[in-house]
């Protein structure tokens, strides 16, 4: 804990598209933050914002009160925590790990049990929704699974990084909620692209649709924030298309295990696979509009 602010010392592993703006948010709120990322440029950016840097994940954990991970894939989480010089080689009670990554539900449960067995430390799955702007503004939606005592302990931190923080149950519960979030988000992305395509074909001012529909049943954050980016052809990544495809593939596998039909989500996943095949993996998730614009459906 830092004497000047009374805030915790944070180890932050993974300062990419979501982790870097959250690091800036934590620094602005008075936390001491030590970061590690396999991409040197990302660490340099975090250092420029005021963070300390470490040469590996284990070194970042030394002296920290909480360990935060925010990584793009299940394999990246596995490597950062349980690989050589990973978090598990250094973390010890009363430290605990909060994973903001979106990974498979069963993997999250397994990771929590493995970390407890190896180190005696709790693992909290805490996937988020809201994108980089919300990460930097501290207005994320966070869905958590894990030990109730650990959840209570991190509430002050969550008050600084999120606008909504919900404990959904034991380990894996936050990830299950994120699967549902991504199911809804993926389907609505495709609906927004279809609406933009039809509006332009109809000859109306497509850019005015969010204003026109505001307050009605079709209104929502994606209509107000995502749809305008499609119409403007602004596909600078706030979330990579490849990441949403990865998430939808996890939703598909999870639903299969639950024996739950998800035909609409299957169609959204099909379109995101086509988008990646067309060479647009590094564009924003809103770039699914390109499939309609270029008649690739």
Count of residues making up the chain: 297
- Give the CB-side neighbour count of residue 254, counting CA atoms within 13 A: 25
- pLDDT for residue 226: 96
Apex 234 CA angle, 233 and 236, nearest 5: 140
**What digits encode the pLDDT tens for the residues 9-27?**
999 999 999 999 999 999 9
Reply yes or no on whether 178 is catalytic: yes
For residue 50, how many other CB atoms are within 10 A of its CB?
14
> Which of 268, 271, 124, 88 has its CA nearest to residue 182?
268
Q: Which domains does the chain have, with CATH numbers?
A: 9-170 (3.40.50.720), 176-293 (1.10.1040.10)
Return d(Cα 290, Cα 297) in angstroms, integer.
10
Q: Which tokens belong to 24?
A: 């800036």
The active-site residue out of 178, 246, 274, 290 is: 178
Tell me the pTM: 0.92
- pLDDT for residue 7: 81
**Regions in the chain scoring below 50 on pLDDT:** none
């Amino acid at each position: 804990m830092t004497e000047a602010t009374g805030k915790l010392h944070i180890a932050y592993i993974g300062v990419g598209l979501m982790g870097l703006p959250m690091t800036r948010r934590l620094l602005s709120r008075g936390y001491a933050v030590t970061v590690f990322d396999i991409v040197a440029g990302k660490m340099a950016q975090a250092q420029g914002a005021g963070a300390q840097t470490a040469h590996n994940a284990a070194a970042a954990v030394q002296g920290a009160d909480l360990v935060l991970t925010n990584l793009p894939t299940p394999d990246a989480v596995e490597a950062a925590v349980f690989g050589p010089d990973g978090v598990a080689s250094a973390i010890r009670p009363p430290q605990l790990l909060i994973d903001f990554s979106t990974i498979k539900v069963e993997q999250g449960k397994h990771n929590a049990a493995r970390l407890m067995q190896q180190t005696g430390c709790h693992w909290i799955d805490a996937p988020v929704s809201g994108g980089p702007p919300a990460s930097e503004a501290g207005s994320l939606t966070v869905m958590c699974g894990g030990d109730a005592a650990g959840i209570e302990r991190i509430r002050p931190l969550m008050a600084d990084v999120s606008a909504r923080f919900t404990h959904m149950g034991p380990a894996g519960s936050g990830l299950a909620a994120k699967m549902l979030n991504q199911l809804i988000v993926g389907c609505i992305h495709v609906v927004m692209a279809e609406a933009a395509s039809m509006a332009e074909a109809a000859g109306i001012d497509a850019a005015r649709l969010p204003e026109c529909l505001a307050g009605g049943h079709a209104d929502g954050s994606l209509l107000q924030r995502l749809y305008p980016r499609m119409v403007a052809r602004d596909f600078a990544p706030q979330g990579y298309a490849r990441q949403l495809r990865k998430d939808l593939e996890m939703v598909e596998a999870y639903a299969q295990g639950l024996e739950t039909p998800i035909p609409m989500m299957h169609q959204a996943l099909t379109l995101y696979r086509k988008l990646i095949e067309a060479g647009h993996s590094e564009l924003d998730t809103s770039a699914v509009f390109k499939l309609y614009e270029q008649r690739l459906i």
